[in-house]
Amino acid sequence: MPLPVFLRHPATAVPASCRRIPALLLAGLLAILFGCSGSAVRTGEAAAVSGGSTPAAAAPKSAAGGGEIPKSREALVQKLLAAGDEWFGLYVLGKKTGVMSTSAARETRDGRDVLVVRSETELQAAVGSRKIQRKVIGERVYELAGSGRLLSLREEKQGDGGGEILVGTCRGDGLEIVRTPQGGKPESRLLPPTGENLDAALAAGKVLEDGAPVTVTVFDTETRMADKPRTISLVKRQKMILAGVETEVAELSVSEEDSRMQETVQVLPDGRILEIRYGGVLLAKAEPEELAKRYGSIEVFSSTRIVLGDGGSAQKLPAAFRQSLQPVVYAVEGLPAAYCTEGDWQSCKMPSEPKAPGEKPSASFAEMTVAPAVPARKLSLPLSKDFIEANELAKWLAPTHAIESDNPKVQALAREAVDGTSDVFEASSRIAMFVYRFLEKSYGNSSDRSTRVIEQKKGDCTEHSLLFTAMARAAGIPARGLSGLVYMDSGDGVPALYWHQWAEIYAGRWIQVDPTFGQPVADAGHIAFGTEGQSDVAALFGQLKIRVLRGAEPSAE
């Protein structure tokens, strides 16, 4: 079971649009639950990215003759600066597990008048008697004159699983990214130019001022290493009693491409944030600094697992079902329609809505059927270009910044594992068992790149899934990650569904594979709620009730 993302490195320094907790916080939340990654807010102290810096006067002219700051931005910048340092307690499922601080400053760097957005997020969780900590410090620097372009970014990750420093510098020919893992050598790559600019940091203020939705571009350092859109909208304005005084509070919604999680932000008229909510799971609550810094931890397994049953007696699946391809039908209560994930091995049927007044819905639960299967026929490597295009598989064969299938180390391991077979399913099975034997089972050793997994040679389900996917693609097998629940006994005598990551490969149809448990075909104890690139499954933590309807003939405990 992976570290839920909020512990797999909490927040990355993204722009201050709502100064939102980075997807990394959810990469942390998912990291404690299964190690993934995400994005950011406007937060804490960080070292300078480039050159010396000095505070800049709040003048409408850019330093060193850089041109005038557009008047439309000047007022928003001043409002952002006036908010000052903000501190938040971080609560997961109602338990305080961390702290976040955010700040913005106007400085002069290398002769330019700039806005510096900083963030610092720290989270902690317990796995049995072991404490796991994650900390992320981030900074982004925007030029105030002209188009307000992003000049540089810096993110530093600290804590269990190893640290890393990422520095990005915007050049004329693109965005240069230099990553330096703890104890390792710097690695540099040149990416296409980013479209992120100062508007990303000022978006929330713009929405509060005009009332109209604003869509901005942000550079995602976690899941894409590329630009993605973010939209901020005004939901409502309402009167609230704060410290005995009636105060107008604005509620904003934040949405991102490929995210199904509802994010809402409560903001005061002066721009200060009261709270940020991520679904019903994660809350960032404004608090005085000293109070914000006092927090405990959440016990990962017991707090997030789902015991099978109807709330009365627990259901236990027979051990034999793991060795069979027997399908299992689950009743899942509390599942939003957006998470009703379907595939070649899984179907999902949401209850029908009433069609007439007084009519009851068809059921109170979603019916999810998991039916493991092997390919009906053999499929030979290499796959033809026509076959890849016809089945839209190119994306699942391509390398990414995390799935480094084009790396020589990954390719060498793939060749060793496949050992000359040309059948897709057989090759996938060999890779699954290779990864199962190659990696030491170790919870909390975060690695966000397949080459780092190879170096560490240990990890939880996140690392197993990541390395398997990279090796499969290196062998020419379409593969992608999955996230959801797996039925298992964590050792405390309470069999249950735990948050997990595994993978699937295409061999004429999609076949789910679990390298963590050494399963070339994952059993029906796996329920998927998201595919690769969706780090929003954390929205389901604490929200679901699941029982077996048909299939594995569970016994009552």
Query: Tell me: the pLDDT tens digits for 98-112?
Result: 999 999 999 999 999
Question: Would 304 be classed as within a structural domain?
Answer: no
Structure confidence at residue 20 (pLDDT): 32
Instruction: Judge if 261 and 373 occupy the same domain.
Output: no
Tell me the pairing of strands 86-92 and 95-109: antiparallel
**What's this model's pTM, rounded to 2 decimal places?**
0.81
Q: 209: alpha, beta or left, given left = phi > 0 and alpha = psi -120 to 50?
A: alpha
Domain count along the chain: 2
Distance CA 267, CA 237 (A): 9
Residue 257: pLDDT band (50, 70, 90) is confident
Residue 449: pLDDT band (50, 70, 90) is confident
CB atoms near residue 226 (< 10 Å): 14
Distance CA 368, CA 348 (A): 4
Distance CA 477, CA 86 (A): 48
Residue 361: pLDDT band (50, 70, 90) is low
Residue numbers of the domain that contains 102: 4-290
Question: Would 538 be classed as within a structural domain?
Answer: yes
Instruction: Judge if 72 and 221 occupy the same domain.
Output: yes
Q: Which residues pair with 86 in a beta bridge?
A: 102
**Does pLDDT of 533 surpass 80?**
no
Q: Which of 127, 444, 122 is nearest to 284 (CA)?
A: 122
- Whose structure tokens read 């965005």? 175
Instruction: Judge if 282 and 323 occupy the same domain.
Output: no
Alpha carbon of 125 to those of 7, 15, 91: distances in Å?
7, 27, 11
**Does pLDDT of 14 surpass 80?**
no
Question: Would 196 be classed as within a structural domain?
Answer: yes
Q: 297-340: per-residue pLDDT in tens? A: 888 777 888 998 876 677 888 877 777 788 999 999 999 999 99
* E strand spans, 93-159: 95-109, 112-127, 130-143, 150-159
Instruction: Judge if 376 and 500 occupy the same domain.
Output: yes
Q: Angle at Cα 492 formed by Cα 489 and Cα 493, nearest 5°?
A: 65
Structure confidence at residue 355 (pLDDT): 61
For residues 449 and 400, the answer to whether their CB atoms sit within 8 Å is: no
- Average pLDDT of the residues in 502-510: 96
Structure confidence at residue 536 (pLDDT): 78
Least confident of 131-145, 279-293, 531-545: 531-545
Instruction: Judge if 264 and 220 occupy the same domain.
Output: yes
Question: Would 299 be classed as within a structural domain?
Answer: no
- Average pLDDT of the residues in 92-96: 90
Q: Which of 300, 344, 306 is nearest to 461 (CA)?
A: 300
Q: Angle at Cα 15 formed by Cα 12 and Cα 16, nearest 5°?
A: 110
Question: Would 213 be classed as within a structural domain?
Answer: yes
Instruction: Judge if 227 and 376 occupy the same domain.
Output: no
Burial track 520-551 (b if 16+ CB lie within 10 A, e otherwise): bbbbbbbbbbbbbbbbbbbbbbbbbbbbbeeb
Instruction: Judge if 128 and 263 occupy the same domain.
Output: yes
Q: Which of 331, 340, 283, 286 is nearest to 306 (CA)?
A: 331
- Average pLDDT of the residues in 340-354: 88
Structure confidence at residue 553 (pLDDT): 66
Instruction: Judge if 425 and 511 occupy the same domain.
Output: yes
Q: 262-277: per-residue pLDDT in tens? A: 889 999 988 889 999 9
**Does pLDDT of 451 surpass 70?**
yes
Distance CA 358, CA 355 (A): 9
Least confident of 26-30, 197-201, 373-377: 26-30
Instruction: Judge if 35 and 131 occupy the same domain.
Output: yes
**Does pLDDT of 24 surpass 50?**
no
Question: Would 300 be classed as within a structural domain?
Answer: no
Question: What percentage of the chain carries pLDDT values higher than 70?
Answer: 82
Structure confidence at residue 54 (pLDDT): 46
Q: Which residues contact 387 (CB under 8 A, 6 or more apart)?
A: 393
**Does pLDDT of 352 surpass 80?**
no
Q: Which of 169, 180, 175 is nearest to 139 (CA)?
A: 169
Distance CA 179, CA 187 (A): 5
Q: Which residues contact 175 (CB under 8 A, 6 or more apart)?
A: 168, 169, 190, 191, 192, 193, 194, 219
Burial class from Cβ neighbours inside 10 Å (0-12, 13-18, 19+) for residue 280 reads middle
Instruction: Judge if 259 and 346 occupy the same domain.
Output: no
- Average pLDDT of the residues in 67-84: 83
Tell me which range, 62-76, 197-211, 404-418, is most confidently predicted by mean pLDDT: 404-418
Structure confidence at residue 353 (pLDDT): 67
**Does pLDDT of 280 surpass 50?**
yes
Question: Would 271 be classed as within a structural domain?
Answer: yes
Q: What is the mean pLDDT of the chain?
A: 83
CATH number at residue 327: 3.10.620.30
Structure confidence at residue 47 (pLDDT): 28
More confident residue, 56 or 210: 210
Cis peptide before 4 (omega within 30 of 0): no
**Does pLDDT of 28 surpass 70?**
no
Phi, psi of 481 (to 5 degrees): -80, 155
Task: Tell how far CA 457 is from the center of its chain.
Answer: 23
**Does pLDDT of 41 surpass 90?**
no
**Does pLDDT of 218 surpass 80?**
yes
Could you give the angle at which helices 408-418 and 424-438 cross, rounded to 10 degrees? 110
Distance CA 449, CA 461 (A): 14
Q: 421-434: per-residue pLDDT in tens? A: 999 999 999 999 99
Instruction: Judge if 425 and 281 occupy the same domain.
Output: no
For residues 529 and 520, the answer to whether their CB atoms sit within 8 Å is: no
More confident residue, 353 or 234: 234
- Average pLDDT of the residues in 168-189: 91
**Does pLDDT of 29 surpass 70?**
no
Distance CA 9, CA 24 (A): 6
Structure confidence at residue 406 (pLDDT): 95
For residues 264 and 235, the answer to whether their CB atoms sit within 8 Å is: yes
Instruction: Judge if 204 and 70 occupy the same domain.
Output: yes
Q: 279: alpha, beta or left, given left = phi > 0 and alpha = psi -120 to 50?
A: left
Question: Would 303 be classed as within a structural domain?
Answer: no
- Average pLDDT of the residues in 42-70: 43
